[in-house]
């Protein structure tokens, strides 16, 4: 019996596996094997503590297109929301389902669930990591730029879960990543340390730099990326964070620091007028909606890879 594989962070995939998934996602997007249904007879659970548009819809549609059945698990409607332990829930759901996608507030909940589940567990988003988003980001860069190695990516804004997964993806694929954020809002130190350690011991690994000046980060960038300043669960900090990040907006002035053919990414939802302007998001350099579409294709490739 094949040992089950989980996808909790980018570290759960090798460089070769990432490249294989991206190649497969591009094939799927082209319509290749559109009648192939590797998930026929399989049921995939989606347990979401947080509201979702892209993650929920892309996974549900992807599971359907691969021939499987998705079952949405609202925490208010299952016993986990009434005090049943994560371990018991994971054990029981593993008897019914062929895989489980979790979108939780705490990454430790994802890890605990996966440690007790006997079927593959996919992190659809946690407070520390958003690896499914990173796969779609890589695919979009590959589509638009034709390569990953040596690409200069500037991430402007909060060092959040998206930034953590980008750091890991950059280290694995040879992207040179510069993050510009205010002091006190740096990415997770463990993600940084592990990625830098990996880069030192791996030929062709990408550089990872943290600095304060967004214009410096955007200089000669091939890709500029941002996310909301205030993530779900941080609403109490909203005014403080908006004040801290007011100079970290992606606007036309910032784009002038980058290469002329720079592409702009945003994992969405966007707070237009805060971290990004309408002019940029709807402009010719924006690949935001291609990026959103690519969630579907990379997740289909991931499901094919994990679900046996």
Per-residue tens of pLDDT for the chain, all 308 residues = 578 999 999 999 999 999 999 999 999 999 988 788 999 999 999 999 999 999 999 999 999 999 999 999 998 899 987 789 999 999 999 999 999 999 999 999 999 999 999 999 999 999 999 999 999 999 999 999 999 999 999 999 999 999 999 999 999 999 999 999 999 999 999 999 999 898 887 877 778 999 999 999 999 999 999 999 988 777 778 899 999 999 999 999 999 999 999 999 999 999 999 999 999 999 999 999 999 999 999 999 999 999 98
Instruction: Measure the CA–CA gap between 93 and 121, rounded to whole angstroms.
Output: 11
Question: Which sequence spans correspond to the domains of the chain?
Answer: 10-129+295-306, 133-292
Instruction: Please compute, for residue 261, the number of CA atoms within 13 A of its CA located in the half-sphere on the CB side.
Output: 5
Domain made up of 133-292: CATH architecture:
3-Layer(aba) Sandwich (3.40)
* Catalytic annotation, residues: 103, 130, 133, 227, 267, 295
Q: Assign a CATH topology to domain 10-129+295-306.
A: Rossmann fold (3.40.50)
- The pTM for the full model equals 0.96
Other Cβ atoms within 10 Å of 261 Cβ, number: 10
Q: Do domains 10-129+295-306 and 133-292 have the same CATH topology?
A: yes
Report the C-alpha gap between 260 and 22 in whole angstroms. 26
> Residue 49 and residue 81: Cα distance in Å, rounded?
10
């Amino acid at each position: 019996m094949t040992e089950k594989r989980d996808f909790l962070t980018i570290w759960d995939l090798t460089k070769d596996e990432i490249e294989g998934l991206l190649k497969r996602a591009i094939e799927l997007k082209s319509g290749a094997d559109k009648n192939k249904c590797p998930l026929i007879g399989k049921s995939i659970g989606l347990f979401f503590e947080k509201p979702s548009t892209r993650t929920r819809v892309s996974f549900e549609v992807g599971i359907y297109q691969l021939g499987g059945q998705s079952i949405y698990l609202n925490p208010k409607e299952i016993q986990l929301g009434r005090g049943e332990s994560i371990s018991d829930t994971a054990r029981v759901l593993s008897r019914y389902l062929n895989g489980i996608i979790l979108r939780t507030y705490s990454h430790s909940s994802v890890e605990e669930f996966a440690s007790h589940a006997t079927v593959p567990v996919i992190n659809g988003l946690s407070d520390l990591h958003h690896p499914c988003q990173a796969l779609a980001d890589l695919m979009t860069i590959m589509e638009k730029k034709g390569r990953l190695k040596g690409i200069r990516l500037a991430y402007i804004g909060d060092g959040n879960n998206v930034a953590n997964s980008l750091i890991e993806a950059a280290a694995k694929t040879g992207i040179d990543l510069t993050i510009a954020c205010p002091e006190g809002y740096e990415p997770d130190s463990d993600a940084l340390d592990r990625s830098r350690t990996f880069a030192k011991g791996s030929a062709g690994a990408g550089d990872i730099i943290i600095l304060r000046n967004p214009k410096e980060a955007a200089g000669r960038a091939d890709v500029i990326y941002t996310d909301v300043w205030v993530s779900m669960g941080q609403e109490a900090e909203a005014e403080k964070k908006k004040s801290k990040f007011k100079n970290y907006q992606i606007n036309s002035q910032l784009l002038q620091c980058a290469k002329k053919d720079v592409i702009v990414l945003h994992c969405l939802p966007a707070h237009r007028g805060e971290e990004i302007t309408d002019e940029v998001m709807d402009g010719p350099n924006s690949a935001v909606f291609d990026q959103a579409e690519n969630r579907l294709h990379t997740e289909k490739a991931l499901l094919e890879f994990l679900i046996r």
